[in-house]
Structure formats: C-alpha cells, structure tokens
A = this chain, B = another copy of it.
Amino acid sequence: MSQGKKKITLKDIAAYTGLSVNTVSRVLNKKPYYTKEVEEKVTEACRALGYIADRNASGLRSGSTRTIAIVFDDLVNPFYSYTTDIISRIFEEHGYNTIIFSNNARSPYLDYDLIRNVLSRKPDGILSFLEPAEDTVAFIRDTGIPFVIFGRDGAPYSMRGVDADEEFGGKLAGQHLVSRGYKNLAYIGSWHDVKVCLDRQRGFADALESAGLTLDPSHIFYIREALPDEIVDKLIADGVDGLFCYNDIIAFVMIEAIERRGLVTGRDYGIVGYDNIQQMLRMPRFLTTIDVNVYEFARAGAEVMLALLAGEEKAAVPSFRETHVSVLIEGRSTPQR
C-alpha cells in the first residue's frame, strides 16, 4: 500500500512478476499477444505496488502525450469557463488531460510567445478561443498539430473553426429592440478587430436597416478601447434608448455605469447582451440576451477536436453553425417602450 517516496516504475513491475518490462508494457497498453495468466500477474503486481504510469515518459517515446491544450484570454467570463469545463470533461472521457494557457487578456490573439509555450508541452491538439496572430498562422500549420479555433470562424486562417452564426445573433438582438419600440440604438463591442464582434455588429445594423432605422457610426463603441464612462456620456448626450452589447459582461459593465448616472434599466433604456451567462449561473433572468446553446456548442468543439485526433475527415463532424440556431431570451431589461 504505502511505499514511502520510492516511485514505482515498469522495471519494478517486471522484477515483481519475473517478466520483462516490454511484456508488462504490452499488457498495460492492451497490445495483442499475451496470456490471461500474464495479464493477471501484471494487474496484481500493479495493484500491490501502487503503480502509476508516467504519461510524460510514454508520450516522449510514442509521440502522443494524450494531452490537449486549451487557450483563452481569461477564465473570468463564464462563457469561457463553462465551455472549458464541458470540453475538458469530454477530453477526459477520451483519455486526454487538459493543459490550460492564457494570454492574460492582453489582446484577442494567440501570439508567438504563447504558442511557443503551448508547443513546449507537446500537446496532441490545441483548442483555442483566441484567433492566431497573423505571424503565427503558418507556424502553427507547419507543426501539423490538430488546431481548432473555438467560437471563431477558421476560414480566414484556413484552419478548422467551430463557430455559430454570429450575424444571426446580432440580428435577433436588433429585431427584438426594434419590435419593443426602441429607436435610438447603439452597439458596444469588445475590440474593433475581432471578427465575431464585427459579425454581431453587422447583424445588428442589418436588422435596424430592415426596419428603417440606422446604426449611427458614432454609436458604435469598443469597450476594450474606451472607458465605460466616456461611452455613457455620449449615449446620454445623444439620447440613445437601446443598447446591444457584444456579451453579457459588457452589458453588466454598461448597466453599472449607466445606473450610476441615475438612469434605470428597463425604464429609461433597454439593453441586450449575449451568451446567456445567467442561465449558466442559475441566475434569475434579468438581462435580455442571446443564447447559443453553449452546451452543444462546447460539445461540437470537443468533437471536432477528437475527430481530428482520430484522423477523420473534417467533414465527418457536422458544422455547428449549420445545425444550431441561437435564440433570444427575454429578460426584464427590454420591456415594451
């Protein structure tokens, strides 16, 4: 049972059973060709000595570490943590451990330093919430390691992406605000150069135009590049009455800043977020938001990764974008005006 600090290796199992390390290894990896008797001996020895294989060592020789890297900018936004939770569980079920990497929210990109850090762990695959920086795209491709961009379109990089129809989500938000009687609308994005952010913006703008309204360019903001209070100054000065935010956290930040000015959400203005983090956290529905079915989304990401690892054709896994439709979840932040 308890064996002090001595670590047990295959050699110990071999000595204990009188077999060679080779044979022991074969049994443990269920390679063909060994007798029932040998198998029992090995199993018994492993239990008796408390053997735990060194998966790093096995990875070194075999070329497969059974490790997958997940890369994000932070784990603070529940969209990331929730999906990471689901995805890493699925990986676990398939015998893969997960190693996490963050770019510390310093940009929306996976940069060269970070990818080097990731690669030094020799993962079998990389699932990234971040788009690769321009100068890393070719580098990543050349490694030949399965790479999945999650929540983003992979096409611009000729990489495999698992994404949803973001434009449609933005459209839902726009149509909803219009139908509830909001007329002077604004969009609060994250970064000006993130495609998902711009897709939602475009869908939103399109919905307004279809209704005979316009999204004034001076009512488009990117919160990572401006201060919430400055944005609010402008919104109030211009009498904006409806906001669509790139995600729920941004919506909450805006609500906080706006209410500090004495305005009341749902009375003085309406606001729509994105991601439905309220549901992930079991919170009452307050904020109107767009729901992507994050569970299925995460599953789709994990499955594409597993398919690539299994060497299957990409086409083997149906596109999430084409099989799922986002819905608008109405909360109390957008009553009829």
Beyond the given A55-B120, A76-B78, please list 7 additional residue pairs across the A-B interface where CB-CB is below 8 A: A2-B139, A54-B120, A56-B65, A75-B75, A97-B117, A97-B121, A99-B100
Contact with B along A222-263 (1 / 0, CB 8 A): 000000000000000000000000001100110110010000
- Identify the A interface with B (CB < 8 A): 1-5, 50, 52-57, 59-60, 65, 67, 74-76, 78, 80-82, 84-85, 88-89, 92, 97-102, 104, 116-117, 119-122, 138-139, 142-144, 248-249, 252-253, 255-256, 259, 277, 280-284, 286
A56 touches B259 (CB 8 A): no
B84 touches A143 (CB 8 A): no
Cβ of A281: which chain B residues have Cβ within 8 Å of it?
76, 78, 248-249, 252, 277, 281
A284 touches which of B122, B259, B277, B284 (Cβ 8 Å): B259
B52 touches A56 (CB 8 A): no
Cβ of A119: which chain B residues have Cβ within 8 Å of it?
52
Cβ of A102: which chain B residues have Cβ within 8 Å of it?
85, 88-89, 92
Using known A-B contacts A59-B56, A120-B53, A120-B55, determine if residue A76 contacts B82 with beta carbons closer than 8 Å.
yes
Distance (whole angstroms) from the CB of A12 to the closest CB of chain B: 15
| Contacts A/B (CB < 8 Å), 30 sampled | A1-B139, A2-B139, A5-B143, A5-B144, A50-B139, A52-B120, A54-B120, A56-B56, A56-B60, A56-B65, A56-B121, A57-B60, A60-B60, A75-B85, A76-B85, A81-B81, A81-B84, A81-B85, A88-B100, A88-B102, A89-B102, A92-B104, A97-B117, A98-B99, A99-B99, A100-B100, A252-B281, A255-B284, A256-B282, A281-B281
B277 touches A253 (CB 8 A): no
A56 touches which of B5, B82, B100, B122 (Cβ 8 Å): B122
Distance (whole angstroms) from the CB of A260 to the closest CB of chain B: 10
B76 touches A284 (CB 8 A): no
Docked pose: A4 CA to B143 CA in angstroms: 7
Distance (whole angstroms) from the CB of A8 to the closest CB of chain B: 11
Docked pose: A99 CA to B123 CA in angstroms: 12
A97 touches B101 (CB 8 A): yes
Q: Find the B residue at minimum CB distance from A7.
A: B143
Cβ of A74: which chain B residues have Cβ within 8 Å of it?
85
Q: Find the B residue at minimum CB distance from A3.
A: B142
Distance (whole angstroms) from the CB of A201 to the closest CB of chain B: 21
Cβ of A120: which chain B residues have Cβ within 8 Å of it?
52-55
Distance (whole angstroms) from the CB of A75 to the closest CB of chain B: 4
Of A56, A65, A138, A249, most B-chain CB atoms within 10 Å = A56
